[in-house]
């Protein structure tokens, strides 16, 4: 335990100094590094919390990513120099956000018509489809960021045994709720969308639903665990999801 604590301290010490980069006249980006790392992402989310809590004049939106935070603002209402001073002050020895977000249990029907790439992925890695399902559903995934489309979850934590390069020929359309892997990332499709990732299964859960409260179910910093369910449950689960029920179950970490 002591060795792990020392490793994390040393690891934080070598995180590059944050860079503040103007993006035109209405946004600024703060970069914390160039790797996928939970501590770096934790600092992004910690700064996001601070900026939104202090809400500088003219603040429009904050966009946290794997390694950076972009702040969009009204250049007429915002004192840019004051904003940069705030960011410089808050990024000095900024600790990662300590608290883990919510953990969600997401039901998934794997394989067959629900996960058309499961057998191919299994074959590529010399595994059976059941082994791929077991490996995929045994991990705890961190939502590093929401992006690309409303509610699209970029998940870290995929087991390297099933990490798979993206498809050479992307599909023009995959269904909402597709449970996908691409490289060392995993994801949940919030709507019908184009994709070059591999589809392992399907969930009735909608991470984005404009008519639901909340519209966005998941947030950066949350965790996801996938629960394999039998195809016989799909109709009931999908009916509940279409009625506006979250379907995903919030569980304690």
DSSP per-residue letters across 58-89:
TEEEEEE-SSEEEEEE-TTT--HHHHHHHHHH
Residue found by looking up tokens 């770096």 in the block = 40
* 130 contacts: CB under 8 Å, gap ≥ 6: none
Q: Which residues of the chain have pLDDT under 50?
A: 1-13
pLDDT at 242: 86
Residue 15: what pLDDT? 53
pLDDT at residue 209 in the model:
87
Question: Residue 2: its pLDDT value, please?
Answer: 42
Tokens, residue 170: 């992307």
Domains of the chain: 2-90 (3.30.1360.40), 103-251 (2.40.100.10)
Q: Rounded to the nearest 10 degrees, how much is the dihedral formed by the CA atoms of 176, 178, 182, 185?
A: 90
pLDDT at 4: 38
Residue 194's closest CA among 215, 212, 169?
A: 169
């Amino acid at each position: 335990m002591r060795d792990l604590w020392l490793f994390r301290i040393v690891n934080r010490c070598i995180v590059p100094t944050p860079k503040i980069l103007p993006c035109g006249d209405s946004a600024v980006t703060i970069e914390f590094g160039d790797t996928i790392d939970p501590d770096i992402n934790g600092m992004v989310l910690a700064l996001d919390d601070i900026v939104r809590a202090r809400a500088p004049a003219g603040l429009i939106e904050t966009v946290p990513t794997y390694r950076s935070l972009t702040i969009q603002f009204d250049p007429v209402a915002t004192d840019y120099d004051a904003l940069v001073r705030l960011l410089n002050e808050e990024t000095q020895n900024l600790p990662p956000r300590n608290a883990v977000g919510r953990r969600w249990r997401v039901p998934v029907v794997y394989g067959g018509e629900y996960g058309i790439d499961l057998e191919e992925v299994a074959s590529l890695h010399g595994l059976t489809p059941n082994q791929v399902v077991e490996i995929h559903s045994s991990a705890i995934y961190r939502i590093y960021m929401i992006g690309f489309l409303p509610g699209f979850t970029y998940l870290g934590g995929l087991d390297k045994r099933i990490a798979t390069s993206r498809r050479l020929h992307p599909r023009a359309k995959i269904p909402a709720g597709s449970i996908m892997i691409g490289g060392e990332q995993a994801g949940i499709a919030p709507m019908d969308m184009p994709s070059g990732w591999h589809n392992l299964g399907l969930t009735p859960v909608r991470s984005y639903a404009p008519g639901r409260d909340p519209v966005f179910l998941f947030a950066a910093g949350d965790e996801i665990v996938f629960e394999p369910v039998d195809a016989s449950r799909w109709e009931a689960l999908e009916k509940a999801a279409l009625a506006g029920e979250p379907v995903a179950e919030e569980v304690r970490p």
